[in-house]
Structure 1
Amino acid sequence: MTSYTESQLAATIDHAILKPELTRADLDAELDVAAEWKVFSVCVRPSDIPHAVARLQGTGVAVGTVIGFPHGTTSTAAKVAEAGQALADGAVELDMVLNIGMLRSGMDDAVESDIRAVVEAAGDHIVKVIFETAYLDDEQIGRACRLSEAAGADFVKTSTGFAGGGATVEHIRLMRASVGENVQVKASGGVRGFDAAVAMLEAGATRLGTSAAATILGAARRQEGGGPASSAVDESSY
């Protein structure tokens, strides 16, 4: 297993703050965790963007959000409007959920059009496309990868963290093999320990969506200091 330093791992983490029941105090606590551990970004609920941008100003932590979350079934027009508002509020990355039912129905043109509309609305900003791999077979995952790439997405991403399963090494490998070198892969859902994080990166992910940044990076810090890096994978949460 490749050795990753705390700073190397931090640079891959989108710290997820997406649970619907979180209070403003909960949100602030998680934003402070992101700033303390110097993660790449936070991924917050759309209504939390302005507050997150203000609180994280000067920390170097970027603010991202979700579009059409968590089911992907809102209209394309609604996703485009949501994307525009998110960017106006200060988000710099968008994680959109593709229309899962349409993908499973073989409605490839509609799926690609839906993604492309959000990509175009995002302009120069990063767009990640969430598949919800727990609901898909390998053929559908590969097809989702190709449609996302054709639509101009920057990343393909495993999961919302709110379905029955999360990222797996096998799905990361499949997704990495199904897109070109200009498209990156994000592992999310159940990545809650150091070993799990490293396994996803070794399989081809370049970004990790997790609510366990402190756990993962604390383990990396202990490892750098000569201690053990404990690991855990909890498929029940983001």
Structure 2
Amino acid sequence: MIIKKYTLDNLAQLVDHTNLHADASNEDMIKLCDEAKKYHFKMVAINQVQSKICHEQLKDTDIDVGAAISFPLGQTTIESKLFDTKNAIENGANEIDYVINITELKNKNYDYIEKEMSEMVAICRKNSVLIKVIFENTYLTNEEITTVAQIAKKVKPDFIKTSTGFGPSGAKVEDVKLMKSVVGDDVLVKAAGGIRNSDDFIAMISAGADRIGTSSGIKIIEALKQRMKDDDVDSIKIGR
């Protein structure tokens, strides 16, 4: 196990500050971006259609705009996903989180999953945009999680991600460990869905996650800030 020290800013930089609600207004997006600037989160995670407004709010910062593609079901064609990805990038997104075609995975059409991932990675690489592949583990067996992770190890997206947060369950420590055990250092892991407190946040990092998607980022960072104050330290040690 390696023990690493994380300052409060290091921890905030692991957060994808999230608002993916269907009824989110422009005012909600502005608030989300303002919060991201205040806490110095890594990225705002939003629906594709809100890429432009968030880009305008964050263009003079180092905070990324993360557009969700084929979200939350993943049940669109490769061509549709590529079109939406290109459109999101044109509107200012510089991170892409897309959901795999779970039906084709269940059909054991692994060539399709690899083709989809390869083409999505290619368009993001061409545009110097970071890409995350959402598995939606709640619907998958450990064997299926392993299979998609093996494909990712070959194709090499930037991240593989546990969940959308809209399924019956979200991130699980054991899933993060499994995904990381397959991809090793070749691909990073993002945990998302149901991570609402500082203990769960730290548990996901310890399990191998390098990014955390959550709508509770402010609550989590404030709790960690208080913990550091109470312990009179300027960093938190996390083993992984």
Q: TM-score, normalised by structure 1?
A: 0.91
In structure 2, the partner of 1:84 is 86
Amino acid at match of 2:212: L
- Runs of 5+ unmatched residues, structure 1: 228-238
Report deviation, 1:2.
7.2
In structure 2, the partner of 1:16 is 18
1:2, 1:198 within 8 Å by CA — same for their partners in 2? no
Matched, 1:121 2:123: yes
Aligned residues: 228
Equivalent-residue separation in structure 1 for 2:185 and 2:141 (angstroms): 23
In structure 1, the partner of 2:218 is 214
In structure 1, the partner of 2:106 is 104
Equivalent-residue separation in structure 1 for 2:38 and 2:18 (angstroms): 15
Report deviation, 1:118.
0.9
Alignment partner of 1:148 out of 141, 146, 152: 152
1:34, 1:213 within 8 Å by CA — same for their partners in 2? no
In structure 1, the partner of 2:174 is 170
- Runs of 5+ unmatched residues, structure 2: 232-240
Residues 138-196 of structure 1, C-alpha deviations (whole Å, 9 max, x = no match): 10100111112323311110000000000010000000001131200000001111111
Alignment partner of 1:43 out of 45, 48, 60: 45
1:5, 1:224 within 8 Å by CA — same for their partners in 2? no
CA-atom RMSD in angstroms: 1.6
Equivalent-residue separation in structure 1 for 2:12 and 2:176 (angstroms): 19
In structure 2, the partner of 1:56 is 58
Within 5 Å, give how 1:222-233 maps onto structure 2: 222-226=226-230
Q: Secondary structure at the match of 2:38?
A: helix
Q: TM-score, normalised by structure 2?
A: 0.91
Amino acid at match of 1:138: N
Equivalent-residue separation in structure 1 for 2:32 and 2:43 (angstroms): 12
2:196, 2:215 within 8 Å by CA — same for their partners in 1? yes
Name whichever of 167-176 and 60-69 sits farther off. Answer: 60-69
1:50, 1:90 within 8 Å by CA — same for their partners in 2? yes
- Over the matched positions of the two proteins, sequence identity in percent amounts to 34
2:19, 2:45 within 8 Å by CA — same for their partners in 1? yes
2:71, 2:98 within 8 Å by CA — same for their partners in 1? yes
Residues 64-99 of structure 1, C-alpha deviations (whole Å, 9 max, x = no match): 111111111111001011111111111111111001
1:5, 1:221 within 8 Å by CA — same for their partners in 2? no
